Structure 1
């Protein structure tokens, strides 16, 4: 593992592995078949890339989309790693050149499509090579239980039959227990080592909103996030096109993407998004799996996703660099109707309906949403996350231990063989024929919950499901199963808090407006300066900006401000190759930025002092502007800044009460104090300088 750590630092610029990466790498080096379930952004790719660079021969990586393999290969090449890909987009001549490079040992990682992998000519090529491992990326595609089943994946079982000594590593971000078992069975893996990473992505905020006034909500959301890149997922092609047009008409740089576009058109739009030429894309689920873009800062679901796996996979495209990212899901019953129609026309109707019901329950729930997500994937979170809409505006809770014990006891006594509806009927003492004929009326908990209405029991059972005290076996007629946590409630006196049903529909409170401190503004300005340099380099080099450096790496540069080779190489994500190419450019940018800011501060301080001296002597703004030969608007700006610094300035003397009230109302609507945004929001109805003065007053008022 010492060699593995050296390779990690040299090529990828990281000092240590993330959780489970080291263990997975060791498993592969030991020659084990390995299954890796790790969330998007968790570092799955390094789990096979590092062993591939350590072992003799070539690693074959199966990737489902041309765009995905192209993106990953470009990323590796940018780090100085020898990698290539083979797919149908290449000419025969290009493919022959790559195969020749593989034979000559010039390529350590070869990415191929599933179709290419199972072709006869590629099989003959494999027989001629020393293959050190097979990596199957997006492995959930092999399972009919997965959310993105692909028939061509099911032919890959031949790998273990014909190359039994070569380790196979299957990797995915989303696989429930059914899908995990199916991946192992379909690939014919030999007693594989299973590595199940935490599904928790604490950097993602989670929010569900009603499906009304969606466009207005989206505009407000975007105006609070200028320069940020994001994806808006829509259910239909028509919605993608219509929404992107409305956004463009509102001045937002957005495009659309769906399977109805020509291959060239899709490739162009994807390139524009990856290169930050068009930072926002409205897309169907056809878009995203091929995106390894680390600086997506938000994901919006314009419509309800079809199941929790899809939702988790899609929000996982935000914040892959580990920095803060936001997610917003619009939920309406009309979307449920559309999904139900699709399900009726598909296979696996029962399972699909059950999974649709689970995502509805996720949207309706009034407990920590992250707990629900993690519970779905078999993981238990003890504390509320504090980073979802429910946690930020929590409903009232009560001690629901007795209710939980009754429900869980009923599941236990019914031998974990019946669905929720039957459990509730037993608890309520139903005399329904099925209950009596099966003898369920004779178990101890029959009628133990008859004082609780049926609808309330449904809500309590949903909460227990979402909290991870019970699970649903979709392949056993939706039978409820007990978990380790539920056994603690039944046998170890564990306490259970449930949401009081009377508070479940309470309106969320508006978050207070908080002014940005000067240090935060400084950091944001430096980040923007580095971002522009990154964009300039990416355009000249014709690679995606995040392949130069990720947002996380830029963020660390902002915090540490490295101004030497040693300091820059200490930044996470700056490997040897990256430093050679870009290190000095970013060091110079940081030095120039600090020098410029220091000069501005000195000049501004002198200028402010002169204005303040004239103000104290009783001169009017127009008189000061005339004496100093400066625009009066600049003088007002000086006074606003001086007021924020604590100077004795009667700022309200420049504002009428009605103007201040209008500006304050606009601030509440927008949720921030950005002067330009307020000016545009109010249709330029109040002078810019007055809005500047008002925001200074409101900022100091809020701090007081």
Structure 2
């Protein structure tokens, strides 16, 4: 009889389980619903592959990326296990071979992407081939709180109920909130057998650096490791291509990988990376999830990742063989601004946006750490450890200073302005910069005005960044990025607790080149919200976003913040038709609610006739019952008021003709209306 121990040795060639594997295998083999959180490189795949070989029937493996599935199928076939994958990257011959093997009952593990569950024929296929177990790899993708949400993962729970088979879910990163959602969505809230293994990867050296000359920094890092396999992660597709070219020009074997490439091109890169020694792949996060290449010696981030979970996943692709590996993550104000805007422009509800800002704060806390990075990283996942001796801060301790007074000044400025403003405006107050916005709101009269002149604006920016990294303040998505104080900051504000910050990032802030952005930091969150509204409106009518409004128009809205439709009409790119169609919707984004105007008045928005209409309407209300207030109520249709405001007649007869008033209304309103028109 095949046992996990015998198959571990005879099929996979291992003499013993890694720590934590055996009890997970036992739980899955016993048919228990299982959730296992194990570090990257900890041997997750064996925990469902071994039970699949010990059980009758087929184990279907839901996996998020074609590259991951191809890797595991290839590896299984190499050790004599019949496995197949049904993916969009298959050739017709490959798909036919998989179906033939399924019909002949030879397949033990069938891999497919969650998107395939939407196909009407999938359920019938899975019933026909006698599926006995569902394994879900990268299960954090099921969670809206995780860093890689995939909506099609939501079908898996229904599939488990329909097939009535046990389910085993695996992931390398899942904080408490993400784990709770996995249990809800995959297991209907019924607690599975849960195994939480340590997150530490002690062989990986951790390092961060503030961006100075980013391309040169990456080239220098790669140059010191020439001939070693590595991955460089970038925030944009275009950057992967330009940086790969720069690496090739520097003498490295390098190629790029991103989601905009044709499937065959991506496949060629995956095969090259598996087969070639010393190849560098410059990629977006589309590359590498589950890539089982054991000898990746380094991972660099040319841009700040999206979250601490994403960072952990991506660096975890290095050193899976247990040998030493290195990492470098570059970050700067432009990265933080980009990541904040991506959160704010998303369609997520406000509570999720707040949680995502908290996750970004945690990553900033790791980037701006004052002592051992591994302690900070593991602390995020609920683990403790002594200083690791294998990170840049253990190698070279940083210079810190008592920043309690500076932080208290910043918190005071936040509270005295009602937690309604972002860092840019707060820094203007602290440095005594009397901008029109500061003076308009009377903030130049606050006690905190100019109390922070001892630090430059860039240095104050570094202070606020480190405050976010400690989660003392968070951007409030509902207030367009206004900083809100957290409970963690209260003891510091009250003088009950001190705080130390890094002096080096504050001192280097002044020397860092300014990043040209579309709008000021103060207006960026509102611009993100306006873009989100534009995207929603564009999707509703299936047109490109720029057809609604161009970026230039939204930027002007964010900077000028029109107070009503009259103001909105003066924004570049807002014509009469678009004002009527979209004006109220965008005003609602800017001010929380739209100005309620009669449709006839709305047609005059932004024109001088609008003010004339308003005055005529006021006079009409005053004279509705005559001068003495006892007459029969009389009024004109709003359309008549609009016509009068536009035509501006100068005599009673012209007024009667334009507005169709009649004798009674001419007597009641005529002279008063003409007086308004003369004044206009």
Name the TM-score class by shorter chain.
Answer: 0.5 to 0.7
Partner of 2:168: 169
Structure 1 residue 87: Cα displacement: 2.1
- Is this contact kept in 1: 2:202–2:390, CA < 8 A? yes
Q: How far apart, in 1, do the equivalents of 2:253 and 2:204 lie?
A: 24
Contact 1:366–1:395 at 8 Å: present in 2 too?
yes
Question: Aligned-pair distance for 1:198?
Answer: 0.9
1:384 aligned to which of 387, 392, 397: 387
* Pair 345,459 (structure 1): closer, same or farther in 2 beyond 3 Å: closer
> How many residue pairs are counted as aligned between the two chains?
451
Matched residue SS, 2:397:
coil
Identify if the C-alpha distance between structure 1 residues 138 and 471 changes in structure 2 by more than 3 Å, giving closer, same or farther. Answer: farther
**What is the alpha-carbon distance in structure 2 between the residues aligned to residue 64 and residue 460 of structure 1?**
35
* Distance change in 2, residues 1:62/1:422 (3 Å): farther
Name the structure 2 match of 1:255. 255
Does 2:184 match 1:185?
A: yes
Deviations 1:162-216 (A, max 9, x none): 122x210111112111111111111135430111111111111010112112333
What's the offset of the Cα at 1:126?
2.1
Q: Match of 1:516? A: none
Q: Which residue of 2 aligns with 1:119?
A: 119
1:416-455 matched pairs, under 5 angstroms: none
- Deviation string 1:267-319 (CA, Å, 9 cap, x unpaired) is 21222222116700111112222522221110110011121111111111111
1:360 aligns with 2:364: yes
Rounded to whole Å, the distance in 2 between the matches of 1:114 and 1:432 is: 48
Structure 2 residue 37 is matched with structure 1 residue 54: no
Task: Summarize the Cα distance change of 1:173–1:472 in structure 2 as closer, same or farther, 3 Å threshold.
Answer: farther
Cα offset for 1:422?
14
* In structure 2, C-alpha distance between the alignment counterparts of 1:346 and 1:473, rounded to whole Å: 14
| Distance in 2 (alpha carbons) for counterparts of 1:329 and 1:102 | 45
Aligned partners of 2:230 and 2:278 also within 8 Å: no
Structure-to-structure mapping, 1:234-633, within 5 angstroms: 234-276=234-276, 279-289=279-289, 291-348=291-348, 349-381=353-385, 383-395=386-398
List alignment gaps of at least 5 residues for structure 1.
404-419, 435-452, 483-495, 508-704
Deviations along 1:198-247, one digit per CA (max 9) or x if unpaired, are 11111110101121123333333223223210011111122111111112
SS at match of 2:45: helix
Encode CA deviations 1:680-702: one digit per residue, 9 max, x unaligned. xxxxxxxxxxxxxxxxxxxxxxx
Q: What residue is the counterpart of 1:197 in the other structure?
A: 197
Q: CA RMSD in A?
A: 3.9
Cα distance, 1:480 vs. partner? 6.7
Change (3 A) 1:423 1:502: closer
Task: State the alpha-carbon separation in 2 of the partners of residues 479 and 278 from structure 1.
Answer: 47
Tell whether the 8 Å contact from 1:28 to 1:51 is kept in structure 2 after alignment. yes
After superposition, give the CA deviation of every residue in 1:56-98 in whole Å (9 maximum; x if it has no partner).
Answer: 2221111112221111100111122221112233355643442
**Given that residues 253 and 280 in structure 2 are in contact (C-alpha distance below 8 angstroms), is that contact kept between their aligned partners in structure 1?**
yes
Q: How does 1:67-78 map to 2 (within 5 A)?
A: 67-78=67-78
Match of 1:44, SS state, is coil
Asked if structure 2 preserves the Cα contact closer than 8 Å seen for 1:398 and 1:497, the reply is no
Q: Secondary structure at the match of 2:384?
A: coil
In 1, are the aligned partners of 2:34 and 2:167 still within 8 Å (CA)? yes
8 A contact 1:40–1:313 mirrored in 2: yes
Q: Taking structure 1 as reference, are residues 211 and 195 closer, same or farther at Cα in structure 2, changes over 3 Å only?
A: same
**Structure 1 residues 506 and 64, CA, compared in 2 at 3 Å: closer, same or farther?**
same
Q: Which residue of 2 aligns with 1:409?
A: none
**1:272/1:278 contact within 8 Å kept:** no
Closer, same or farther: CA 274–352 of 1 in aligned 2, 3 Å: same
- Trace 1:90-109 onto structure 2 (pairs within 5 A): 90=90, 94-109=94-109
Q: Which residue of 2 aligns with 1:7?
A: 7
- Structure 2 length-normalised TM: 0.60
Give, in angstroms, the shift of residue 397 of structure 1. Answer: 8.4
CA distance in 2, matches of 1:500, 1:361: 11
Asked which structure has the greater CA Rg, the reply is: 2
| Structure 1 counterpart SS, 2:389 | coil
Aligned to 1:231: 231
Q: Which residue of 2 aligns with 1:651?
A: none
Contact 2:354–2:475 at 8 Å: present in 1 too? no
